Amino acid sequence: MTMSRKTRVRLGVLPSAAVLLLATGCGTQHAGTAADAYRRSHPTPTGITTPSTPTDFPCPGESPAPKAPTTATTPAPTAPPTDHYAENHGFRVPIPLHGRSRCDGLTIVGRVTKTLEPLRRHGDFAPRDVRDALTGLGYPAGKVQAYQDGPTGVDFLVDIGASPWCVEGTMSGDATEAKAFGGYPDGTDCQPPSGGH
């Protein structure tokens, strides 16, 4: 069977037209347009909550933190940031605690600080003594680490294994400071991961 020259040209034009049609449609939809249209046509039913930012409340013994004033005149950035350091190192940022876990963390931080303060006041900055004091609170010895940080300082880390998961801090000649957190995004314990995504 022989095909006429016109038929061959028409068959060759069809794929070219399809590619042209697809190419002209690319990039014409704005980000969020379909999602916004969907939300308008499918509102959230009453009684069903949607995920939101976790809320914190004052914990026992804590006064409510004053909210920072917001100004409506703060300009939004006009160009995307070119520095991706924070984005690339986000895996090293501890997971913050919210709600009941935050209150539990503040309670544990208070116990740790109260236990280590007598050592600090006596000038006892031996990692072994800090570790012994923390294991005296009931934490397993294998989950408590203490390291010398200069002549008058000790860094410590406790892997609690339950919410709030981790407590870390420093005992120095000036003060004992500790904070509780929920581990790391790419980690499996309280140690900062060595590599991320």
Name the residue range of residue 126's domain: 93-181
Residue 175 lies in a domain: yes
Can you give the pLDDT at residue 170? 96
Residue 193 lies in a domain: no
Please give the model's pTM, rounded to 2 decimal places.
Answer: 0.60
- Percentage of the chain surpassing pLDDT 90? 36
Residue 149 lies in a domain: yes
C-beta separation of 147 from 154 below 8 A? yes
Short-list 170, 161, 113, CA closest to 140: 161
Beta bridge partners of 154: 148, 171
Which residue shows structure tokens 């050592």?
119
pLDDT tens by residue, 78-129: 555 566 665 655 566 888 999 888 899 999 999 999 999 999 999 999 999 9
Residue 145 lies in a domain: yes
pLDDT tens by residue, 177-191: 999 999 888 766 788
Judged against a pLDDT cut of 60, whether residue 68 lies above it is answered with no
Q: Strand locations in 42-184, DSSP E?
A: 144-148, 153-159, 166-172, 176-181
Residue 120 lies in a domain: yes
Residue 9 lies in a domain: no
Instruction: Answer with the residue of higher pLDDT: 138 or 26.
Output: 138
Q: Which residues contact 125 (CB under 8 A, 6 or more apart)?
A: 119, 148, 151, 152, 153, 154, 171, 172, 173
Residue 167, SS3 per DSSP: strand
* Domains in the chain, number: 1
